[in-house]
Amino acid sequence: MMTALMINLVSWIIGTIIWLKNPDVNQFYVKICTSILEGIAYWFFLGRNWKKALLMTIITNTLSYLATQYLTLPEGFFQKKDNMIR
């Protein structure tokens, strides 16, 4: 389970970096490519067959999507520049 979480987290970070470096690239294509690479990582690192790796990719990316769409942080969650500790 921890390996699956780490693979998903790493692929999310890499996809975000690619999208931020190239804002002209469609975010949907970046997500699809990272999902495919994530499935390959599941297959390789977890020793699963391709059907289980595909299922794990679908489940983790669906949960990741739902978490980013429906969980919100309160407005004052991040520090403002004027109240940072120096």
Residue 76 has pLDDT above 80, yes or no: no
In angstroms, the CA 15 to CA 8 distance is 10
| Per-residue confidence (pLDDT) for residue 69, from 0 to 100 | 81
- pLDDT tens for residues 60-75? 888 877 887 887 777 7
Please say whether the beta carbons of 42 and 1 come within 8 A: no
